[in-house]
Structure 1
């Protein structure tokens, strides 16, 4: 489906590409957390969220293609690298995880889900012009709200002990 003249094609491509770049980094973090915390008290919920985030990521990627746009390869590479670099920080515990790590990761993921919600709200606004179904993006907005709420609940479960002395690593 072509982008109508009423929308700046370059700006739309950049907007969607930037969101997909961030989403790629966020997806990588969700997947890494699902693997790292799979057997913990937050594992099942993180795994479910990772699957939902994968579906959203796939949708955004396919949408870019359907609109005849693209995401520069360099942006995809940077997204993956940014997620890896974000994990390379000292935590004062050598190779062992800090109890603050999953807390901080949940906070970062809440930001990512909030940004994704903004994308879906914007696409809902422009859906008719772009030949998209506004109900699809309304549903995605509600899903993002639910994901944010679930991340907030997980955060509330971890915060009481995350900064306490003597806590042993991951959950």
Structure 2
């Protein structure tokens, strides 16, 4: 019979919880920044879902006795904020590439989160977790990935268009 390594699980859940905290904040800012663009409604939905997922993960981690590292959470918060300061060739306004890069980054984050749901699904019985709930989280992650892929395509079309069509994501602030 397999045995779960709780030390590794604690570290893994702590890392994902720190990431979920930063990801939830980033999705919230993105939903606000792009609220009046074609990207806005889908980002607002994902932001709500990610916040709910973060809360579930936090509650589950605490129920399992995991105490997330404050240092990891603070470190990720610093990295996330530093990412906003990157030079983009513009002093006062947002680069057309911002939406493209944010969609790429957040799609990668959701793919990583999906890996967490897979892991917890595999170990659901050992951890006393609801496998059906974890399957719903997996399905939701798949939908989020598909949505972010589609939004990334929209952002790419708008960012790299030479004609400067109105409604580009960088104009929604």
1:118 to 112, 115, 118: 115
Give me the whole-angstrom Cα distance separating, in 1, the residues matched to 2:162 and 2:153.
18
DSSP-derived class of the 1:38 partner = coil
TM-score by length of 1: 0.91
1:161 Cα deviation from its structure 2 partner: 2.8
Post-superposition Cα deviations, 1:136-170, rounded to whole Å, max 9, x if no partner, equal 11111011000101111111112123134574633
Partner of 1:85: 82
1:37 Cα deviation from its structure 2 partner: 1.2
Contact conserved, 1:42 with 1:154, CA < 8 A, in 2?
Answer: yes
Contact conserved, 2:121 with 2:131, CA < 8 A, in 1?
Answer: yes
2:139 to 128, 135, 142: 142
Contact conserved, 2:19 with 2:73, CA < 8 A, in 1?
Answer: no
Partner of 2:23: 26
Unpaired segments of 5 or more residues in structure 1? none
Partner of 2:49: 52
- How big is the alpha-carbon RMSD for the aligned residues of Structure 1 and Structure 2? 1.6
Contact conserved, 1:28 with 1:83, CA < 8 A, in 2?
Answer: no
1:108 Cα deviation from its structure 2 partner: 0.4
Contact conserved, 1:120 with 1:140, CA < 8 A, in 2?
Answer: yes
Give me the whole-angstrom Cα distance separating, in 1, the residues matched to 2:11 and 2:109.
18
Contact conserved, 2:120 with 2:134, CA < 8 A, in 1?
Answer: yes
The number of equivalent residue pairs is 167
Unpaired segments of 5 or more residues in structure 2? none
Post-superposition Cα deviations, 1:38-92, rounded to whole Å, max 9, x if no partner, equal 1122111111110001011111111110101110111121122121111110111
TM-score by length of 2: 0.90
